[in-house]
Structure 1
Amino acid sequence: MVSPDEASRRARTRFSRTAPTWAATVFLHCALREQTDNSQAPGEVCEGLPFTVPLHPPTERQAIEDSAAAHAWVEVWRACRFADLVEWGIRRWPSVGTQTVPERLIMRTPQEVARVAGASSEWEAMRSRSCDIALRWRSSWHVRHPDADAASLADAVRSTAQQAAKVSPQDWSILLAVIDWLSAHPHETPYARQLPIRGIDTKWIERHRALLKPLCRAINGAEPVFAQPPRCVRTHVLDRGIAPEGIVDLALPICELDRIVRRARLAIVCENLVSTLTLPDIPGAIAVHGGGYAVGDLRCVPSLADLPLLYWGDLDTNGFAILNDMRSVFPHTVSVLMDRETLERHLDLCVEEPQPNAGRLSRLTEEETAALEALRRGDPAHGIASLRLEQERIEWDWACGRILQAASSAESGS
């Protein structure tokens, strides 16, 4: 015998699995109702409906063996909050007479499934928001983007329905306004803060990006793009004579870094910020704090191609991968303190690299490749699979001497 609670759990499972598809059906019905038969309610064409839960009423033997339990079960169903959805049947049993028992629970519409599942408010939010999108689609979005396909937007509604139902009414209004604006200005890339919408800010966009992306993609054919603050690069001028107004410590948008680099005769890209700020004075030199795997951003600094360029990264597989990427932009890059000598001198200071890079690195020199292979061999005696020597672990006086030597060699071309 199936209890109302068990039937409710089954309805909840069906609702969670299928409600997004029902929401998409509601959207299509509202969006295309001028071309469809309005006499056909959405519930009649929704997938998986009617949904029937057999209740397995007691048999005659069960009724005889425990008549109190059988009677209580029937009364529970008669009093439950969705008793109106129960289909009853007649049992004519010689031993206990004619009995009326609940045979099955039949849910014919999404609303009825939601009611049994205890999800009426959730379904109402899904339904109303699907209709909101459909009305916007009909009134403006489709007019601005006639090539957009209602079926594609229905897919977006399906993928976002559950998340949309959880959004507050205020945030839902903001979201529709954002899509309205993006739909009307498909070629603009503003900062989120610039949108003329009350309550909008950058954090709001980040919180609701998962909702915006599929809906905008279905309407505009592209995901929403907002301007981002340029990445600022920490720069340390190692020769005060070429520093602007004598200022040696700068943080510049990467697009403006070239103006400083043009003053230099030598550039050093260094992955560790403290190392960048404490490098020794070098005539005509400038140090740039690297951005890890964002090293490709340095394409915006074309002057780096015109002067000797040193790279000092962590002595690990990812450091060499970044060096490899660096050379895809600036093939003349020379590494410093990324060799076997440095590794072997500080082997006792190595730790395990948490996420080694196993890729093929084709732009390394023979000496760099030898160091990389030593790192990848690890230290089996101490249970280390892949070695890592961080910049700050290297003896500072020794490191400065190597850097000065590398800078001199780079400038002289030797």
Structure 2
Amino acid sequence: MITPDEITAKALRLYPKVIQAWLDDRELFPHVLRSSKTLGDDIVESISAVQELRNRSKERLGYGYSVEWVRRKPRSSGSNEFPNRILFETRDDLLRLVAKQDEFCALQSSVAKIRRHVPELEAWLRSHTMQLAGVAGAVDNLISVVQWFRKNPRPNRFAREIPLAVHGKFIEQRQRILQQWFDVEGVLSPDAIRADESNFFRRYWLRDWEPLITLRCLDEATQARFGLPCSEASIPIDHFNSVPLDGVRIFVVENLTNLRTFPQASNSIVIFGMGNAAVHLRTLDCLQSNEVVYWGDLDVFGLRILSQFRQLVGEARSLFMDSHTMREFPDLVHSPKKDYKIQKLPALLLPDEEEAFHACNEPKLQLEQEWIPHHAVLAALASLGDVP
């Protein structure tokens, strides 16, 4: 037979449906609970369990579950009342039992405010009821943020600079729900959203910490273009993009020592790719209009990044990332420190790069870029010739 604690657990599981029924203006009560009415073999224990069920019911407490009783006479005892049906007669009965009255009241207030001020969120309300219940106390501030962004699209300022009566980190801490709201059709105008941007701040035209691009200018003329006091520097992406870089050869490497020891070359720069060049460098305008040479580790992961990089910039060359390199430096090829599963062949590799991928994949081999001798790097750059 069901116990009072089991009834409470069922009520908690029913709570989201109570919210949904209220949102849909649909009546859910009285609500009958499915439960076993089978009594145990020990009649004394059964009668005790029945008494506990009665003592914690609405009949005794004034709220909670109700029990419809039926009189039975078991063979081994006299006539007694046993539960025939257990139900919640009203929504308030259930809410009081599971101590959700205050939460539900706050949720009702929040929904009313959202429907009044941001009616476009009606469908969101119906699919995110429990999430809303968790932020009911912040709804006034959330609505004020939405209204401000509606009046001030593309603000181009830091979130903490927005003139609202919310604490400094409010938008940062609530960005998940704000993004859900902002992305609902009609809440913001389409031109107020960068649809291809996943970063919350940049997506809604807020200023954010700008990633720094670490580069080294390989000749004095290119250094002068950037206005740098030294050949190597880390600069914000916006400043990088403000420098006109037509007719420049751009090398991308994944090792800082290689960047700092890269040979001098006219009209050239070398950039640190930070381990995932296709992600971190995709906002650099110059990659679309100049010759680009990518140099990463010669292993399955480096070749996968090369493929991703080509998706970004088009026909990028590779350096020391082919089967010829493995044959030229067989003593430098070794097994990686960490094991990994066999990888799928990336899409945008050239035939000799594909050959290197297969050679590294099955036996699990690699040739790290910093192992390439400096004289070989000099020879490779000489073979590239002048910048076209």
1:363-403 per-residue CA deviation (whole Å, 9 max, x = no partner) reads x33322221221222x2xxxxxx4344434x15xx0x2222
Kindly provide the amino acid, as one letter, of the partner of residue 11 in structure 1.
A
Distance 1:135 1:265 in 2: 56
Q: How far is 1:70 from its partner?
A: 4.4
1:105-254 aligned at under 5 Å gives the runs 105-136=86-117, 141-142=118-119, 148=120, 153-167=121-135, 169=137, 171-185=138-152, 191-201=158-168, 204-216=170-182, 217-220=184-187, 225-229=204-208, 230-240=210-220, 242-243=222-223, 244-254=227-237
Specify the SS of the correspondent of 1:348.
Answer: coil
Query: What is the aligned-residue identity percentage?
Result: 21
Q: Compared with structure 1, are the counterparts of its residues 10 and 405 closer, same or farther at alpha carbon in structure 2 (3 Å cutoff)?
A: same
Kindly provide the amino acid, as one letter, of the partner of residue 205 in structure 1.
I
The equivalent of 2:318 in structure 1 is 335
Kindly provide the amino acid, as one letter, of the partner of residue 23 in structure 2.
A
CA contact 1:268–1:285 (8 Å) conserved in 2: yes
Specify the SS of the correspondent of 1:227.
Answer: coil
Q: Compared with structure 1, are the counterparts of its residues 412 and 64 closer, same or farther at alpha carbon in structure 2 (3 Å cutoff)?
A: closer
Q: How far is 1:275 from its partner?
A: 2.5
Distance 1:167 1:65 in 2: 45
Distance 1:283 1:88 in 2: 91
Q: How far is 1:64 from its partner?
A: 7.8
1:11-410 aligned at under 5 Å gives the runs 11-16=11-16, 18-22=17-21, 24-25=23-24, 42=25, 45-46=26-27, 48-53=28-33, 67=47, 70-77=50-57, 81=61, 83=63, 85-89=65-69, 91=71, 93=73, 102-136=83-117, 141-142=118-119, 148=120, 153-167=121-135, 169=137, 171-185=138-152, 191-201=158-168, 204-216=170-182, 217-220=184-187, 225-229=204-208, 230-240=210-220, 242-243=222-223, 244-258=227-241, 262=245, 265-290=248-273, 291-294=276-279, 297=282, 300-301=285-286, 305-306=289-290, 308-328=291-311, 330-343=313-326, 344-348=330-334, 350-352=336-338, 354=340, 358-362=344-348, 364-377=349-362, 379=363, 386-392=364-370, 394-395=371-372, 398=373, 400-410=374-384
Q: Which runs of 5+ in 2 are unaligned?
A: 194-202
Specify the SS of the correspondent of 2:128.
Answer: helix
Q: Compared with structure 1, are the counterparts of its residues 131 and 101 closer, same or farther at alpha carbon in structure 2 (3 Å cutoff)?
A: farther
Distance 1:327 1:64 in 2: 78
1:136-183 per-residue CA deviation (whole Å, 9 max, x = no partner) reads 2xxxx45xxxxx4xxxx33211333222222373x3332121122233
Q: Return the structure number with greater helix share.
A: 1
The equivalent of 2:196 in structure 1 is none
Kindly provide the amino acid, as one letter, of the partner of residue 269 in structure 2.
I
Kindly provide the amino acid, as one letter, of the partner of residue 355 in structure 2.
A
CA contact 2:66–2:89 (8 Å) conserved in 1: no
Q: Which has the higher contact order (CA 8 A, sep 6+)?
A: 1
Kindly provide the amino acid, as one letter, of the partner of residue 206 in structure 2.
A
The equivalent of 1:35 in structure 2 is none
CA contact 1:351–1:387 (8 Å) conserved in 2: no
Distance 1:214 1:187 in 2: 18
Distance 1:178 1:105 in 2: 46
Aligned residue pairs, count: 365
Q: Which runs of 5+ in 1 are unaligned?
A: 26-41, 143-147, 380-385
Q: Compared with structure 1, are the counterparts of its residues 101 and 189 closer, same or farther at alpha carbon in structure 2 (3 Å cutoff)?
A: farther
Distance 1:387 1:61 in 2: 68
1:306-330 per-residue CA deviation (whole Å, 9 max, x = no partner) reads 4x53211122233223323444555
CA contact 1:55–1:102 (8 Å) conserved in 2: no
Distance 1:191 1:119 in 2: 38
Kindly provide the amino acid, as one letter, of the partner of residue 210 in structure 1.
R
Distance 1:245 1:67 in 2: 88
Distance 2:344 2:174 in 1: 35
TM-score by length of 1: 0.72
Q: How far is 1:340 from its partner?
A: 2.6
1:7-35 per-residue CA deviation (whole Å, 9 max, x = no partner) reads 1111111124x24523533xxxxxxxxxx
CA contact 2:324–2:352 (8 Å) conserved in 1: no
Specify the SS of the correspondent of 2:85.
Answer: strand
Distance 1:350 1:55 in 2: 59
CA contact 1:268–1:312 (8 Å) conserved in 2: yes
